[in-house]
């Protein structure tokens, strides 16, 4: 690990307090100043789409953070999660989020600023100087294996790494995914009590069948700026394995949301705005 991640979200206190953030915008700037002075590699997290927020305020935050020369930036649209104050207030009509046109303007103008500053988009919500992309997260988006250690960590291993793993119907799985207990005390209890047997041998977690894996390959890979590779897809799933997706891809191309570049399928600029709609088409029934 060689990068410090700073969860700024916003430099404006009026948007931080409702999120339950304990820091102020000034404190965030002080941290960024110290990191820049020490010439440390850091990522800055920013959100947009707060109730009452304007595109100009989003751009002000971006310009201010870029002034501290981060090598990597994450730029996320605020999502309302059940159990949060924002979710409850929105459900009861107490707050109004920006409409989709304003959110699209925030995102697109943000992309322009970040790319002009030398931080091209390499994933829907992530921007970096060339060579400073997050290798950790690229493993997820390229649908590679990963092993999570610690409370709440998620792991995903392909069948070739875990040996024979079959569904209840006796079909071969593509792989297996499981999540460690979220509370540290529960995680410690499991590690102390468990035998050396693997999670998939004990029926814990989620077996991933071939069809699910195919959809997830595109769901993750299309998040990348360079898109996902047809060649790699067929290398993993077999010749002609893309055939079930061809009709849907053609429809998405006609909408202007997908394009092919070399042997890769990728989102267009307008497709980035409809990414959730696009990737849902690849999750076959």
Residue 25 has a pLDDT of 87
pLDDT in tens, 40-61: 999 999 999 988 899 999 999 9
Helix pair angle (210-221, 230-237), 10° resolution: 160
pLDDT in tens, 179-225: 888 899 888 887 776 555 566 556 567 889 888 999 999 999 999 99
Per-residue pLDDT, averaged over 79-105, amounts to: 78
What is the CATH code for 4-133?
Answer: 3.30.750.200
Residue 104 has a pLDDT of 94
Q: Whole-number mean pLDDT of the chain? A: 87
Cβ-Cβ contacts under 8 Å for 255 (sequence gap 6 or more) = none
What residues does each domain of the chain span? 4-133, 139-210, 222-280
Neighbours of 262 (CB within 10 A): 11
Strand ranges in the chain using DSSP code E only, listed in sequence order? 4-9, 42-48, 72-77, 121-123, 126-128, 154-158, 173-179, 206-209, 228-229, 258-261, 264-267
DSSP for 40-76 reads --EEEEEEE--TT--HHHHHHHHHHHHTT--SEEEEE
What is the value of pTM for the model shown? Answer: 0.86
Reported confidence tier of residue 15, pLDDT bands at 50, 70, 90: confident
Per-residue pLDDT, averaged over 22-40, amounts to: 91
Residue 236 has a pLDDT of 92
User: Count of residues for the chain?
Assistant: 285
Residue 88 has a pLDDT of 73
- Give me the percent of the chain exceeding a pLDDT of 90: 56
Residue 271 has a pLDDT of 94
Residue 140 has a pLDDT of 92
pLDDT in tens, 129-148: 999 999 988 999 999 999 88
């Amino acid at each position: 690990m060689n990068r410090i991640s700073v969860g700024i979200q916003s430099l404006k206190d009026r948007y931080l307090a409702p999120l339950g953030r304990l820091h102020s915008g000034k404190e965030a700037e002080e941290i960024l100043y110290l990191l820049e002075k020490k010439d440390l590699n850091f990522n800055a997290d920013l959100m947009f789409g707060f109730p009452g927020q304007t595109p100009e305020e989003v751009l002000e935050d971006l310009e201010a953070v870029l002034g501290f020369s981060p090598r990597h930036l994450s730029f996320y649209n605020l999502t309302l999660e059940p159990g949060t104050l924002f979710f409850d207030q929105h459900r009861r009509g107490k707050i109004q989020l920006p409409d989709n046109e304003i959110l699209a303007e925030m995102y697109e103008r943000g992309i322009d600023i970040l790319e002009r500053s030398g931080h091209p988009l390499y994933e829907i919500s992530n921007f970096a100087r060339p060579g400073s992309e997050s290798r950790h997260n690229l493993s997820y988006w390229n649908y590679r294996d990963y092993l999570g250690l610690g409370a709440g960590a998620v792991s995903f291993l392909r069948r070739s790494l875990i040996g024979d793993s079959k569904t209840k119907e006796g079909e071969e799985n593509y792989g297996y995914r499981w999540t460690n207990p979220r509370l540290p005390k529960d995680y410690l209890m499991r590690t102390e009590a468990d035998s050396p047997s693997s999670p998939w041998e004990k029926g814990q977690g989620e077996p991933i069948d071939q069809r699910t894996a195919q959809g997830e390959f595109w769901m993750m890979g299309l998040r990348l700026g360079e898109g996902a590779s047809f060649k790699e897809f067929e290398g993993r799933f077999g010749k002609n394995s893309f055939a079930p997706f061809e009709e849907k891809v053609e429809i998405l191309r006609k909408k202007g949301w997908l394009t092919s570049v070399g042997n890769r399928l990728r989102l267009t600029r307008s497709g980035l705005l409809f990414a959730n709609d696009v990737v849902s088409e690849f999750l076959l029934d």
